[in-house]
């Protein structure tokens, strides 16, 4: 029997050391799985695997020990349970996310919603090499935005409201970058120091802040053989349309300039960071 390993890999089947066995990677967006999906996964691992799953480092699920002959049956069983296979190889991988502002008190943006939008637009898109997106809700960075080829971090831009302020001093005390200070009854916000964490507004007992959520984007992160922290090359983005314009431009840049087997960071370095920055700045300013 001829096995098309490339096609299987594209469909999330990772060849194992054990003959005729595959570890089946599933599509999971932002680490979110329903109970029904988990039941289907459990049933498949019991029936076709060895009764366990592997949780991957990027919030995915793999079912090891799926036999070559069972692949079609397994796909059908998973499909009926609302699960889709994931992908491997040179393309856009699982989009990861923390729970974001819908769940987490620290969250500044709806990470899960955004991860789904990114996934719908880019998941499995063929590119010169693997390409990872990660969305984290705030400065706490539980999702490690900068280790992704494109990382998105939620931020909050704040404006102080004199009329509501009771001058209790909570914001000044909790600001980690010392961006907040008082001169008499006036609050001084040092914009150079503010890192958009939003803690001042979240802790304020008087709601004396006007908040605008935003996205802080980092480009070219690597966390494998080589480690490079993704770089923030643009100001905070408030408009989702602008965010997607920037992401589209970055992905297009990689598609057009990347060599096969070359990670995004390496493409940026080889072609010149100035050139890349110019492209995304043009996208940012429209």
Partner 1 sequence: MADIKTDEYVDITDVVCPVTFVKAKIAIEELEPGQILCVHMNDGEPVQNVPRSMKEEGHRVLKLYKNDDGTYDLIVEKGEE
CB of residue 155 vs partner 1: minimum separation in angstroms? 17
CB of residue 243 vs partner 1: minimum separation in angstroms? 28
State the residue for tokens 């997106």.
Answer: 133
**CA–CA dist 254, 213 (Å, integer):** 28
The helix, strand and coil proportions of the chain, stated in percent and rounded to the nearest 5, come to 35, 25, 40
Neighbours of 79 (CB within 10 A): 12
The distance of Cα 183 from the centroid of its chain, to the nearest Å, equals 40
Please return the burial class of 179, using the count of CB atoms within 10 Å of its CB with bins 0-12, 13-18 and 19+.
buried
In the bound state with partner 1, the residue whose beta carbon lies nearer, of 43 and 206, is: 206
CB of residue 205 vs partner 1: minimum separation in angstroms? 4
CB of residue 181 vs partner 1: minimum separation in angstroms? 13
Under the rule (CB under 8 A), what is the footprint of partner 1?
105, 166-170, 173-174, 199, 202-206
In the bound state with partner 1, the residue whose beta carbon lies nearer, of 38 and 206, is: 206
In the bound state with partner 1, the residue whose beta carbon lies nearer, of 169 and 235, is: 169
Query: Please, what is the Cα angle at 147 between 225 and 238, to 5 degrees?
Result: 155
Sign of CA dihedral 71, 76, 80, 82: positive
CB of residue 203 vs partner 1: minimum separation in angstroms? 5
Are 232 and 256 spatial neighbours (Cβ–Cβ below 8 Å)? Answer: no
From the list 207, 229, 210, the residue with the least C-alpha distance to 218 is: 229
Tokens describing residue 35: 């109970």
In the bound state with partner 1, the residue whose beta carbon lies nearer, of 26 and 200, is: 200
Question: 194: which residues sit within 8 A by CB, 6+ positions away?
Answer: 158, 177, 179
CB of residue 198 vs partner 1: minimum separation in angstroms? 11
In the bound state with partner 1, the residue whose beta carbon lies nearer, of 51 and 169, is: 169
In the bound state with partner 1, the residue whose beta carbon lies nearer, of 44 and 171, is: 171
């Amino acid at each position: 029997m001829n096995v098309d390993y490339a096609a299987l890999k594209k469909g999330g089947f990772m060849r194992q050391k054990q003959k005729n066995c595959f570890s089946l990677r599933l599509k999971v967006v932002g680490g979110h799985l329903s109970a029904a999906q988990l039941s289907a996964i459990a049933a498949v691992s019991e029936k076709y695997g060895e009764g366990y799953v592997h949780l991957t480092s990027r919030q995915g699920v793999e079912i090891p020990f799926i036999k070559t002959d069972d692949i079609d049956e397994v796909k059908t069983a998973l499909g009926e349970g609302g699960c889709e296979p994931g992908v491997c190889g040179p393309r856009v991988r699982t989009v990861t996310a923390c729970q974001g502002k819908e769940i987490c008190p620290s969250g500044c943006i709806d990470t899960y919603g955004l991860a789904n939008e990114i996934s719908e637009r880019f998941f499995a898109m063929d590119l010169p090499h693997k390409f990872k997106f990660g969305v984290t809700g705030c400065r706490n960075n539980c999702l490690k935005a900068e280790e992704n080829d494109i990382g998105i971090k939620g931020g909050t831009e704040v404006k102080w409201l004199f009329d509501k302020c009771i001058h209790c001093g909570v914001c000044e005390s909790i600001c980690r970058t010392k961006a907040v200070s008082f001169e008499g009854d006036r609050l001084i916000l040092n914009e150079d120091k503010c890192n958009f964490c939003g803690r001042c507004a979240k802790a304020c007992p008087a709601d004396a802040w006007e908040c605008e959520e935003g996205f802080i984007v980092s480009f070219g992160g690597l966390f494998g053989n080589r480690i490079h922290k993704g770089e923030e090359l643009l100001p905070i983005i408030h408009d989702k349309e602008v965010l997607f314009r920037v992401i589209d431009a970055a992905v297009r840049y990689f598609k057009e300039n990347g060599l096969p087997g070359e990670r995004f960071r390496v493409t940026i370095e080889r072609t010149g960071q100035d050139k890349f920055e110019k492209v995304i700045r043009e996208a940012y300013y429209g």
